[in-house]
Structure 1
Amino acid sequence: MKKETLEKRTKIANNILYYIYTHIEINIDIEELSIDLGVSKFHMHRIFKEIFGINIYENIKSIRLQKASNLLLTNKYSTISNIANMCGYSSQSSFIKIFKERFEQTPKQWRNGGYKDYSNKILEQSEIAKKSTADFSNISPEIVKMPAMKSFYIRNRGYNLNIKQTWQKLQTWVLTNDIHSYKQIALFHDNPTITPLNECQYIACIVPDESEIITSNRLPSFNIAAGVYAKFDLQGKKGDVLKFIHWVYHEWLPNSEYETTTKPSYTVYKKNNYLNKEDDFDISFYVSINF
């Protein structure tokens, strides 16, 4: 396959996935999406399966369930029916049935503590996270309002060692295009504490300052969502991040009186552990909240 053809197909697949993530609370009309992208439904389905190894409908189902499982933990003032609606389900009974198929427990059982065993099994998948001895009990966030940010990105399937290579490619793009002022941001479309690590979509992003003029069309772009976020500042070694995200969603959020939204959390790197020999980091972690 020619490089240009592959880039075009990858862009279409990324646009489909971005649309799904940002419209997960509504009925996603594949026919309408194919018209917007200027691609036939057949071609759209084929490209998506080719790039991501999963069909569009299965992907929508997986994302909705993951968002719902998250909201059940953090939005304790929302009913199960409310959460089903927020994630695009019109019927509570069908939501309960599909949820049980995925997590082997009902939404009520999950909310009442069943998530802990499920989540701990996922944490066990990461050898470096298991070794982490970091303690987060004294960390408290700053509440901030963040603007939308245009980012250029590479999508990495899996929360794994390939992330290092993804960041190296982005760094090559930055240096090649003489971009001097920018932020490095990791976007977590999937919560890696409740999504198997090999299924997580980790998005490595470069957000150039407005003064930078970008002429390259080598990378796709999208806007990181504006909104109100809890911002946590954290330093540590790789392995601590996964354990920290686990703490944010399973300890801090449920006890905070805040609720979260379907917007993805993200990390801004002041020091990126994937791009230094010491493997340590200095980050700000942002999780979307409302009250």
Structure 2
Amino acid sequence: MKNETIKKRSKIANDVMNYIYQYIDTDINIDELSIEMNVSKFHLHRIFKDEFGKNIYECIKSIRLQKASNLLISNPYSTITDISKICGYSSQTSFLRAFRQRFEMTPKMWKNGGNKIYSNKILENLIDTSDEKINFLEIEPTIVKMPEIKGFYIRHQGYDKSIKKTWQKLQTWIYTNDITNYKQIALHHDNPIVTPLNECQYIAIVKCEDKETNLQNSSLPILTIPQGIYAKFSLSGKYGDVIKLIQWVYHTWLINSGYETTTNPSYAIYHKNHFLSKDGIFELDYYLPIKYV
């Protein structure tokens, strides 16, 4: 497949995903979306599944339930009915059925501590994680307004140590193009503390900082991270510590913060990438999209 075709298909798939994030609380009409994007419904579904590994409806369901799982613990004043509507469900019954099927517990059980039990089981599946205890209470986040970020990317299926191979491929691309001024960004399309690790969409991104960059190899597609308001958490550590931070941010900090997270994906900007460093140490800023309640 030619590079331009790959880029065009990737842009279509990413535009669909961004549309889902933006309108997740509505009845998303794929027929109208295909007309708007000037792509047949059949090709829209095929392109999206080729890019993300699952169909559009599966993705909508996953994002709605991830949003609901966060709102249930960060918005204590909303009823189950309120949350089901906010997340785009036509009835409370359909929401309860989908939630129980996905998390194997009711929303009420989730609110009453089931969320931590569920995420702890996911963390148990991480291999060779750091045993060091981190005092997350010492981490003081800052609230920042981040601009839109565009970067070249490689998509990775799963959240495990095989991510290293994806970063190595991206690093090879960087060296091929003699890029010296850039940022490495990890985008989490799925929240790894509420999504089975093998199903997580992890995206390794390089943002070129130089305005004029003559690429020798421009085969990689471009992805846009939307602008927005974020809570920024700075951390250094070893493999496995990032997901521990994410668990604390969502299931402890967010609950007491007075904020809600949005459906936009969170991301990390590396100052030092543990998947590429010899000592396996990372230094990063983790950005959680938020809004004031």
Q: What is the aligned length?
A: 291
Q: Distance in 2 between matches of 1:160 and 1:197?
A: 7
What does the per-residue CA deviation read over 1:148-206, in whole Å, with 9 as the maximum and x for residues that have no partner?
11222221111122311111222222222233322111111211111110111111111
Question: What is the rounded CA distance, in whole Å, between the counterparts of 2:211 and 2:150 in structure 1?
Answer: 13
> Structure 1 CA distance, aligned partners of 2:10 and 2:230?
30
Q: Which runs of 5+ in 1 are unaligned?
A: none
**Residue correspondence of structure 1 range 56-205 to structure 2 within 5 A:** 56-129=56-129, 131-205=131-205
Letter in 2 for 1:165: K
Structure 1 distance, partners of 2:229, 2:220, is 28
Q: Which amino acid aligns with 1:113?
A: G
Alpha-carbon contact 1:158-1:201 (below 8 Å) kept: yes
Tell me, yes or no, if the aligned pair for 2:236 and 2:284 is still in contact at 8 Å. Answer: yes
Partner of 1:255: 256
Q: Which amino acid aligns with 2:74?
A: T
Shift of 1:217: 4.4
| Structure 2: segments with no counterpart, 5+ residues | none
Does the 8 Å CA contact 1:151/1:208 hold for their aligned counterparts? yes
Moved more, 239-248 or 121-130: 121-130
Q: What is aligned with 1:211? A: 211
Compared CA separation, residues 219 and 54, structure 1 to 2 (3 A)? same
Q: 1:268 to 1:262 in 2, by over 3 A?
A: same
Give the residue type in structure 1 aligned to 2:45.
H
Q: TM-score, normalised by structure 2?
A: 0.89
How far the C-alpha of 1:222 sits from its partner, in A, is: 2.8
Aligned to 1:239: 240
* Separation of aligned partners in 2, 1:7 and 1:261: 27
Paired AA for residue 25 in structure 1:
D
More divergent stretch after superposition (121-130 vs 245-254): 121-130
**SS state at 1:128 partner:** coil
Give, as a single letter, the amino acid of the residue that structure 2 aligns with 1:91: S
Task: Specify the alignment match of 1:220 in structure 2.
Answer: 221
8 Å Cα contact 2:154/2:203 also seen in 1: yes
Structure 2 CA distance, aligned partners of 1:191 and 1:129? Answer: 18
CA deviations on 1:20-49 (whole Å, 9 max, x unpaired) are: 334323322211222344332223323434
d(CA) in 1 for partners of 2:224, 2:192: 21
Q: Is the 8 A contact 2:7 2:222 kept in 1?
A: no
Q: Is the 8 A contact 2:14 2:223 kept in 1?
A: no
The alpha-carbon deviation at position 234 of structure 1 amounts to 0.6
Tell me, in whole angstroms, the C-alpha distance in 1 between the residues paired with 2:212 and 2:77.
44
TM-score normalised per structure 1: 0.89
Alignment root-mean-square deviation, CA: 2.4
Aligned-pair identity in percent equals: 59
Distance 1:82-1:262 versus aligned 2 partners, 3 A rule: farther
